[in-house]
Amino acid sequence: MGPGGWTYPKPIDQAAYSNDQATIGSVSCVSSVICYAADSDGNILASTSMNSWAVADTDSVAGLTGISCASATVCAAVDGSGDALVYSGGAWTLPVSVDAGNQLTSVSCASTSFCVAVDSQGQGFTYTGSATSWAKTTIDPNGDDLTSVSCPTATFCAAVDNSGNVYTYDGTAWAAGVAIDSNDGLTQVSCASDSFCVAVDGDGDAEVMTGGDWSSTTLSANASSVSCPSDGYCVAVDQSGDAFVYQQGSWSAETKIDGNNSFEVISCARPDACVAADRYDNVLYYTPSNS
């Protein structure tokens, strides 16, 4: 076991990385060991244990930009050409064009019949059970790049853009944007419920939403990804191999867990079960109860 309850880095996608330096840009975990990852080469990797990752499918159209799983048997993945793939019934569908000509940037699935994907032009696309039919809606009327979306339930989502705005969904409609970060564009948002979210930017800030109100907190480094598995608790990773924990209203000091490697993404199924991937396609598991 490595420092702070983290395992040491484990390579899982070296064939793609060695060929063209494809990177894992999205991970979604539904338990401590069942996770799905998507890379920029179009590969979807699946794990059934810490030591067992394998390519489960490949997007033949474009590199993947996001993946989200509502359960071990239902997931959605999106790519840079506006296509979506859905995992259901034990198999992945072929890529389906839902946003032709644009880049889908992120996807979040709250249940087996509800996912939302967002794109680089301020648009959102809702999946309600049909892999070939995603309903389009305008989220950001300014057409800014929506960088991330998080839907803890089918009646609440939050999406952030590269201008520092957040947009929320109440199960019926998307609200007008609220400026919550004036320093830099927001890069990722993670919501544990309709009353707790955290969004991070590239300038060392983390915006925290509690009970509908947003406030700014500061990290000692630039967080590249954050995951909040429960209200009041998040884990973030940065571009220098560090991890941070948010609890009881504040961030911990950084814990060096991966040398100086830059992290791309983190996903936490529970407060004691997270997986982070770095830009060299290594994964690290956070299991503090075993440290």
The candidate with the shortest Cα–Cα distance to 186, out of 151, 229, 225, is 225
Residue with tokens 């990773």: 237
Q: Are 104 and 80 in contact (CB under 8 A)?
A: yes
pLDDT score for 87? 96
Neighbours of 91 (CB within 10 A): 9
DSSP category for residue 94: P
List the end-to-end C-alpha distance of the chain, in Å, as a whole number: 6
The two three-digit tokens of residue 47, written as one number: 């794990």
Q: Domain extents for the chain? A: 3-290
Backbone angles phi, psi at 134, to 5 degrees: -110, 125
Question: Is the model's pTM score more than 0.85?
Answer: yes
pLDDT, tens digit only, all 291 positions of the chain: 667 899 999 999 766 555 667 899 999 999 999 999 999 999 999 998 888 999 999 999 999 999 999 999 999 999 999 999 999 989 999 999 999 989 999 999 999 999 999 999 999 999 998 888 899 999 999 999 999 999 999 999 999 999 999 999 999 999 999 999 987 789 999 999 999 999 999 888 999 999 999 999 988 788 999 999 999 999 999 999 999 999 989 999 999 999 999 999 999 999 999 999 999 999 999 988 765
pLDDT score for 20? 67
The top-level CATH class assigned to 3-290 is mainly beta
Q: Helices marked H in the chain — which ranges?
A: 14-20
